[in-house]
Amino acid sequence: MRTTYDAIIIGGGVIGCSIAYELCKQNKRVLLLEKETIGSKASSAAAGMLGAEMEFETNHPLYTLAKESRDSFSFLSKELFDICGIDIELIQKGIYELAFKEEEAVDLKREAAERHDQGEEVSWLEANNLLIKEPSLSPLVTGALYFAKDAQVSPVKLTRAFYHSAKILGAEIKEHTKVVQLLQSNNKVTGVVTTEETFHADSVIVACGVWSSDIEPSLKMVPVKGECLSFNTKRSLLTGTVKYKNCYLVPKRENRIFVGATSTPHVFDEDVTFSGLFELMEKAKQIVPELSGASFEKAWGGIRPQTLSGIPNIGRHPHKEGLILATGHYRNGILLSAITGKKIADYMESEVHSS
């Protein structure tokens, strides 16, 4: 195994694996180091929504980037399948934001009109039309704002597909390898020190999710714990993803439904709590009453990596040469993984050409 690379990526979540994949496509010599196993942290806790329009207001700084990332998944899913044979289970059936109360319907109708005026493909569905499309929803719904282009994937398969494709394209990947510090001289980062070895590289990329501040203390990460659960149903209950307030139901292959998610800032454990599950199950039953007869599959928790500003750090460190940041994707790391990998690879390529 060599000890000098073009790029070392710290962290094998969806972000680190996407970057490894994109850098390998540019023939870079890449080493990815993961302290546990690939995709074992936030990236496997996600529901997998590609909710660019559902998650962001049109004036949000991430809105355009999020849409670009979401729209790239049609091509990406084929590209990854062709390279590694993993199907990321892309489902492009939209996301419905539901209203139950009249005042909620008024707000969502106004939002539909505003977004429509801005040329977006969103629409307001009255209850009768909504129930034709999604007949298992509660008859008490008053309507929904429909984000037709939002989609979803399997987050576990996406991370695995980036990882396997990067490996096939030449990346070296070491699991159970914890980076303990950056190698630095005169404000220039030149490599990393792990518990066992030292590796050198032209660029080091921090993609450690909520643990990024352990590597680079200027990154002040805020942990936001989320809990989810899943059910098996006897028949398909939903085609699109549905969301009401802070509860969403994401229909997966083979009649599975993911229900998420709680949101508890400043909590660092992944425990599944009685109150978390109870809250989600009550809401899920309100949205799709038939779910109360579904079989429980499993429950899990994960830590969303949030920055103080709420905007991820994607790009060069402002003061340290050779250090690149790709962290803080908070609620949208699956959605933003595609564009983050591309941006970092393009950034490194432009550095080569400008030097």
Indicate the residue among 115 and 304 with the shorter CB distance to ligand GLY: 304
Selection from ligand FAD, ligand GLY, none that 5 binds (CB < 5 to 8 A by kind) is none
Please say which residue, 35 or 304, places its beta carbon nearer to ligand GLY.
Answer: 304
CA 149/CA 168 separation, integer angstroms: 31
Q: Does 34 bind ligand FAD (CB under 6 A)?
A: yes
Pair of tokens at residue 293: 């007869």
Q: Which amino acid is at 144?
A: A
Among 21, 31, 43, 249, binds ligand FAD (CB under 6 A): 43
The Cα–Cα gap between 196 and 203 comes to 20
Question: Should residue 36 be labelled a site residue for ligand FAD when binding is judged by CB under 6 A?
Answer: yes
With contact defined as beta carbons under 8 Å apart, do 334 and 161 qualify? no
DSSP annotation of 168 reads H
Q: Is 70 in the site for ligand GLY (CB under 6 A)?
A: no
Stretch that binds ligand FAD, among 34-42, 76-84, 164-172, 344-352 (CB under 6 A): 34-42
Q: Is 42 helix (H, G, I), strand (E, B) or coil?
A: helix
Among 157, 304, 329, 342, the residue binding ligand GLY under the rule CB under 6 A is 304
Q: Cβ of 20: how many Cβ atoms within 10 Å?
A: 32
How many chain residues are in contact with ligand FAD, going by CB under 6 A?
43
Q: Does 179 bind ligand FAD (CB under 6 A)?
A: yes
**C-alpha 240: how far from its chain's center?**
18
Residue closer to ligand FAD by CB (options 143, 260) is 260
Q: Contact 97/243 with Cβ under 8 angstroms?
A: yes
Q: What is the DSSP letter of 24?
A: H
For the chain, the straight-line distance linking the first and the last C-alpha, in angstroms and rounded, comes to 28
Hunting for tokens 């990236």 — which residue is that?
Answer: 43
CB 132 to ligand FAD: min, Å: 26
Name, in order, each residue with C-beta under 8 angstroms of 71's C-beta and a sequence gap of 6 or more.
149
Residue 88 touches which member of ligand FAD, ligand GLY, none, C-beta under 5-8 Å by kind:
none
When binding is defined by CB under 6 A, the residue of 145, 189, 335, 339 that contacts ligand FAD is 335
Q: Does position 122 bind ligand FAD by CB under 6 A?
A: no
Contact residues toward ligand FAD (CB under 6 A) are 10-16, 33-36, 40-43, 45-49, 178-179, 207-209, 211, 214-215, 226, 228, 260-261, 302, 304-305, 327, 329-335
